[in-house]
Chain A
Amino acid sequence: DTAVSQTPKYLVTQMGNDKSIKCEQNLGHDTMYWYKQDSKKFLKIMFSYNNKELIINETVPNRFSPKSPDKAHLNLHINSLELGDSAVYFCASSQGLTASSYFNTRLNEQFFGPGTRLTVL
C-alpha cells in the first residue's frame, strides 16, 4: 500500500545505454517531482509536473526526458547514459497549493518514493 513507488530500486547499466525509471503515486496528488541525490548527498530538483504539465525544468541535460501519461505517473527516461548520471533518483508528489491553503503548511508536504540507485559503468 505504498504511497509513492518507484521501479526499479537498483539499476546498473553501461555508458551509452538508454534507461527508464518509473514512478507512481496513489495519493491523488496533482504534482509530481523528480530529484537527484548525487555522491555528495546533495538533493536537487530536476523536474516538476502538475496535472501532466511540465512546471519546473531545472538545468538538466536534454538526455533526461520526463513523461507523465497521467497525473498518477511520472516516468524518467535517460538517453545515452554517462558516468556522471550515477546517483540516487527520488520521485515525489504533493497536493500542490492554492492561495487559501497556503497557511495550512502541511498541504505542501512532498511525499518521496524510496529512490532508485542508478550506477553507470
Chain B
Amino acid sequence: DQQVKQNSPSLSVQEGRISILNCDYTNSMFDYFLWYKKYPAEGPTFLISISSIKDKNEDGRFTVFLNKSAKHLSLHIVPSQPGDSAVYFCAASAILANFGNEKLTFGTGTRLTIIP
C-alpha cells in the first residue's frame, strides 16, 4: 500500500528549461511534505518542504506546489542545470496526527537528467 507515489521513474530536460517533478499521495492525514535529492552512493539531501497550511513554497530555483484537494504536489526547478541531475524523492509526514512521531513516507523517486 504505497501512500506516496511518483509515477514517473525518469525525466529528461534540456538545460535552462523548467523541470517539473510530480508526486501524489493517498493519506489525507499527511500535512507536511518534503523533497529530497539523492546522488549515487550518497544519502538523500533535503531540498525544500511545505506544510499543508501553504500551497506554495519557493527557495531560489526550486518551488514546491501543493494541491490538497487533488492530493498532489509538484517540484519546479527553473532554470534546470546539469548539477540538478539526480534522483528526487517526494516524502510526506502526518505531523499533527502523530506529534512526536515524525516519520517520513517516501515515494520511489524520479531520476532527473539534465541534458546540456
Residues of A within 8 A of B (CB): 4, 31, 33, 35, 40-45, 48, 50, 55-56, 58, 90, 92, 94, 96-97, 99, 102-103, 105-106, 108-115
Contacts and interface: CB of A to CB of B under 8 A. Distances in A.
A55 to B, nearest CB: 6
A97 B57 contact: no
Nearest to B49: A105
Interface in B98-114: 99-106, 108-109
A33 B49 contact: no
Nearest to B111: A41
Contacts of A31: 102
Contacts of A33: 103
Contacts, number: 73
B32 interface: yes
B102 A96 contact: yes
**Which 4 pairs between the two chains have the least Cβ-Cβ distance?**
A112-B43, A43-B106, A109-B46, A105-B49
Contacts of B80: none
Given A109-B34, A109-B49, A41 B109 contact: yes
A35 B41 CA distance: 15
Contacts of B41: 114-115
Given A102-B96, A105-B51, A108-B93, 10 more contacts: A41-B108, A42-B106, A55-B101, A56-B103, A58-B103, A96-B100, A102-B95, A105-B50, A112-B43, A115-B42
18 contacts: A41-B108, A45-B104, A45-B105, A48-B102, A56-B101, A97-B100, A102-B51, A102-B95, A102-B96, A103-B51, A103-B53, A105-B32, A105-B49, A108-B32, A108-B95, A110-B46, A111-B46, A115-B42
